[in-house]
Amino acid sequence: LFVGNRDGRALKDVYVRVLIKEHARRAGIKKKISPHVFRHTCATHMLEGGADISQVQRLLGHVLINTTQIYTRVAQPDVKKTHSKTHPREKDKDA
């Protein structure tokens, strides 16, 4: 999720942690923030934006799709909205 700006290689974990901690301190954020929070947030926003879960799975490096499903926090209203848009029984209500 974090790519170095010089040669395209991933940034070192410790460097990302230091950057996040420093920027959180400067912003006055007292809550503990870590790269893990960004993984959750990124995955959730991608799924809410319509990304395929298998693509998110590959991005996060998960072997099992179940891990990706647990890892993300898709908002319940979005699930209901998707259901009403895609389920055949819901489509019949519009007719």
Return per-residue pLDDT of the chain as tens, 95 residues. Answer: 555 666 767 777 888 889 889 999 999 998 888 888 888 888 888 887 888 889 999 988 899 998 888 766 665 567 777 777 887 877 666 55
Dist CA 85 CA 74 (whole Å): 16
Tokens of 15: 């460097």
In a domain? residue 54: yes
What pLDDT does 80 receive?
73
CA 3 – CA 26 distance, rounded (Å): 22
**Residue 4: inside a domain, yes or no?**
no
Give the number of C-alpha atoms closer than 13 A to the C-alpha of residue 61, restricted to the C-beta side.
Answer: 2
Evaluate whether residue 42 is within a structural domain: yes
Q: Rounded distance, CA 66 to CA 46, Å?
A: 17
Domain count, the chain: 1
The pLDDT of residue 5 is 64
Predicted local distance difference test score (pLDDT) of residue 77: 63
Q: Is residue 70 part of a domain?
A: yes
Containing structural domain, residue 17: 13-80
Instruction: Give residue 74's pLDDT.
Output: 61
Look at residue 20 and tell me if it is in a domain. yes
* 90 occurs within a structural domain: no
User: Nearest to residue 52, comparing CAs of 69, 27, 35, 70?
Assistant: 69
In a domain, 93, yes or no: no
pTM of the complete model beyond 0.95:
no
Task: Report the pLDDT value the prediction gives residue 86, as an integer from 0 to 100.
Answer: 82
Other beta carbons less than 10 A from residue 66's beta carbon: 10
Q: Is residue 56 part of a domain?
A: yes
Please tell me the predicted confidence (pLDDT) of residue 54.
93
